[in-house]
Each structure stands twice: as C-alpha cells, then as structure tokens.
Amino acid sequence: MGRKTILLLLVGIFTAYYGYTPLPDNIEEPWKLIGLTFIFNTISNVALVGEVLGINHFMNTLMFFMSFQDVSPTSDETVTVMDTTFSNVPVRVYVPKRKSEALRRGLFYIHGGGFCLGSAAQYSYDVLSRRTANRLDAVVISTNYRLAPKYHFPNQFEDVYNALKWFLRKDILKGYGVDPKRIGISGDSAGGNLAAAVTQQLIDDPDVKIKLKIQSLIYPALQTLDMDLPSLRENSQIPPLPKSLMVRFWSEYFTTDRSLEKAMFVNQHVPVESSYLFKFVNWSSLLPENFKKGHIYSSPTHGPSELARKYSGFLDVRAAPLLADDNKLRNLPLTYVITCQYDVLRDDGIMYVTRLRNAGVKVTHNHVEGGFHGLISFPGFKIGHRVENQYLSWLSENL
C-alpha cells in the first residue's frame, strides 16, 4: 500500500470521526444536518483556538464567518427593500410593490443568534422577510440590535423595544400604509425571547396607544433559571444547538465573566433568596405528561448570591419572559408558538404555552416532531420549508 493511499485512508478516517454526529432516527435528511454540523463545528473549533490563543473572542470569530451570509438590501419585482433606522436602531424594511387599496398588515421581526450573532441582513432572514411581505401583502420590519460580547443586557432588549415603539407611532404607520389594528411581532430563538419580552413590556407602557394583534414565537428561549429541563437532558448533544453552546449564549448575554457560564451549566447559579422564582418555570407542573417521559424533577442547587448581585439580569423578566406573573400574561395577544422535538429550548416554549393558556390567552402550539433548532433558518431542509409554510399560513389567517 502506497504512502498516498495510506494518507488518504487516514484523512478519510479522521474526517469520518470528526464529522460523525449521532442523530435520532426520525430526523429527515440527516446527512444535510450532519454536513451543516460539520461546517459549524469546524468554524467553532477555529473560534475556540483563536480565543484560547488570545487572538479574538469566540463569538466575534463566529460573527466574522457569519457575516459572509449577509446580503445587500436589494429590491426585486415583488418587494421594495431598504435599510433605515428606527430610533437610531438599524432596521431593514420590506414593502410589497403591488398596489393595495386597503391599509396593509405590519410585522415586526427579530432575528435569532443567541444575543451574540445574526443580522437582519443575513440571507436566511432576508429570504423569510421577502416571503412574508409578499405572501401576506404586509410591511415587514426586520430589526437589528446591539450584540454581545461587546454589549450586554439590557442593550439588546432596549434596542428592540425602542425600534418597535418607533414603528408603532401613528405617523410612521401612516407613512408605510400599515393598519394600526393589524400589527404583529415575531422572532426566532433569541429573537423569540426578545419578541416575548417586549410584548410584555408594551402592556404597561402608557406612551404606546397602539397594541399588537398577535405574537409569533419560533423556538424561543424564555428562561434562565433551570438548566436541567427534560429537553436539555435529552438534547444536550443535538446539533446545531447543544447545551454547552446554549449556556454560553445565555451567559454572554449578561457578562463575559465565564464563572456565570460554569455555574449555569451545572444549574447552580440561582441564589436561595431568588428560589421563589422557580414556581414560574417548574416543569413538573407545566409540561404535559408526554414531554416528561419519566424524568424526575429535582430542585436545583442554589448558587452564590454574588453572581446574582453582579449579573442580576438573568433574574430579570425582560431577559426571562417566563418569570412574568399571571396578571401580566393574561393581557397578552393571540399567540403562536413553534417548538421542536430535538431542541434544548423545546420545554421553554411548551411551558410558556401552558402558562399562557392557564392565564386565558388563546394559543396555537405547533410542535414539530423530528424538528431541530433553527430549522427555518437553514435553506434546503424539507422540514424547514413545511414549518415556514405553516407559520406563514397562521400569520395570514390571524394577522
């Protein structure tokens, strides 16, 4: 056997070992997800090495690679696209070109990315916004916001809230031809978190006269207290969002101090004086039986008070919308929630569905068996296309 053959064999073995990702049997098109995971793991390892060597922060390196997916605000035959600012926050606006005798619907969209990554200019979000604007004949506002690690909570929340309030001004709505009675908000992952949080905040804001008709949350991250939910136990290694990365995103939202990340990962970050908050995220009472699957609830071990004093944001309802009490929840609008079977954030969304329904809010819950986190954002997946169509159909019927 020649040297070249041996070398190729070794490269093949290394590639197979490095790229191997065990997946559940009912995931459609598993090789596409394995390929996607291979690419993401490669970039993540480059970012990790760069961080260890002190070259660049892990998230900044990921953002550098993701920036190659950004596209310019190019109009097409159906939609006019433009970049502008709302209250000094960069947004991308999509306006249908076809004539409309009536006022249009409006949708305010918030991208995901763990509060650290992503952009309204990202290809997948640009495509989704175009399709939404065209199919619903709606004006779509896709907002940006400042990102960690350079900016921490509550900057992300405040950017989104300020941009949304600007959009809800009567003169702005009139300028875009939007019906003030038909405005909704939506977001995925971290964007779903921000959508839920700002929708709650709007309820008590006396300056906002125009209210949202619907909220649509796509596999949202909604709580920071319990890092030992059944969905976290079952899907801790499932791509593209394993538990380790999810916890890193959460901790970066509040601080670059890695001690919070370590405490969150082992579920020892909530101080005893804040233990009363666990009633809002107690999965043993909030998850339907089929999602408990024999898991036994155990009360988290309390963490040091120092972490909560230094980084109190993780106990703030604006960062963890599941911490809102029922008085707040019962005033929320018609809601649509997407959750995925193989997603660490699955139980966040399901618990929110339960709490909203218990508070009297009308909720449509679309649980995707065989689904995984981010499926709408990855082009080429049949399951993502189906779920996107279901999402747009619900918006079309309810907004």
Q: What positions carry a catalytic annotation?
A: 189, 343, 373
DSSP 395: H
For 136, phi and psi rounded to 5 degrees?
-95, -5
The structure tokens listed for 1 are: 């056997």
User: CB of 177 within 8 A of CB of 103?
Assistant: yes
Query: For residue 257, how many C-alpha atoms fall within 13 Å in the half-sphere facing its CB?
Result: 11
The structure tokens listed for 326 are: 């029922």
Query: For residue 315, how many C-alpha atoms fall within 13 Å in the half-sphere facing its CB?
Result: 19
Q: Compute the distance between CA of residue 279 and CA of residue 334 in angstroms, rounded to an integer.
A: 24
Q: Compute the distance between CA of residue 234 and CA of residue 224 in angstroms, rounded to an integer.
A: 18
Q: Is the peptide bond before 300 cis (omega within 30 degrees of 0)?
A: no
User: CB of 277 within 8 A of CB of 323?
Assistant: yes
Q: How many CB atoms lie within 10 A of CB 352?
A: 28
Q: Compute the distance between CA of residue 211 and CA of residue 226 in angstroms, rounded to an integer.
A: 31
Buried b (16+ CB within 10 A) or exposed e, 284-307: eebbeeebeeebeeeebeebeeeb
Region of residue 139 (left: phi > 0; alpha: psi -120 to 50; beta: else): beta
